[in-house]
Amino acid sequence: MTVCFSHEQAMEGARMAGASRIIGVDLNPAKYEQAKKFGCTDFVNPKDHTKPVQEVLVEMTNGGVDRAVECTGHIDAMIAAFECVHDGWGVAVLVGVPHKEAVFKTYPMNFLNERTLKGTFFGNYKPRTDLPEVVEMYMRKELELEKFITHSVPFSQINTAFDLMLKGEGLRCIMRMDQ
């Protein structure tokens, strides 16, 4: 089972990898409906709980998740992702880029209990060797890129696209140059 902190590509990757349960974590409750398209089976809004979200996740999974993918870059979400993975085998992957002065603080026992913390830029993606396989997956209908596109606007409305992005109301916006 996987928990994804606010990113549909991570959910899609978990779905494609065969995750039996995908838990989305986001402050925006409207994201749950969109997340279902990417395999999200459960949704947690940290604002709905009085205790830290990592404690909520550990309780609802009977000990923690196998994988946690944090994509927001918010330091509290990064810590929560690491602290919600299962002792002994859980792996947290930090994808989001934090503020340059952010400090990651956790208890040393989290490492001694054999949790793993990893970080990545671009998912260790290598365009020269990986892009042809992504194209092939799309051509075989194994990768549904269309569901990532939530808006399409003419280039003259570029500010609308930025507003959608900043408000968290869209995943990907196509900019049409012909209009």
| Containing structural domain, residue 88 | 2-124
One domain for residues 99 and 139:
no
Instruction: State residue 56's pLDDT score.
Output: 97
One domain for residues 104 and 138:
no
Q: What angle do CA 38, 43, 46 make, to 5 degrees?
A: 135
One domain for residues 38 and 102:
yes
Strand ranges inside 60-155, DSSP E: 67-70, 91-94, 116-119, 149-154
One domain for residues 60 and 145:
no
Instruction: Give how many domains the chain has, as a whole number.
Output: 2
Q: What is the pLDDT of residues 128-175, one digit of tens each?
A: 898 899 899 899 998 888 888 888 999 999 999 888 888 877 788 888
One domain for residues 131 and 165:
yes
Neighbours of 45 (CB within 10 A): 16
Q: What is the pLDDT of residues 74-92, one digit of tens each?
A: 999 999 999 999 999 999 9
Q: What is the CATH number of the domain that holds 95?
A: 3.40.50.720
Cβ burial 63-85 (10 Å sphere, 16+ → b, else e) = ebbbbbbbbbbbbbbbbbbbbbb
Q: What is the pLDDT of residues 26-76, one digit of tens each?
A: 988 888 888 898 899 999 999 999 999 999 999 999 999 999 999 989 999
Q: Which pair of tokens denotes residue 105? A: 């603080």
One domain for residues 90 and 172:
no
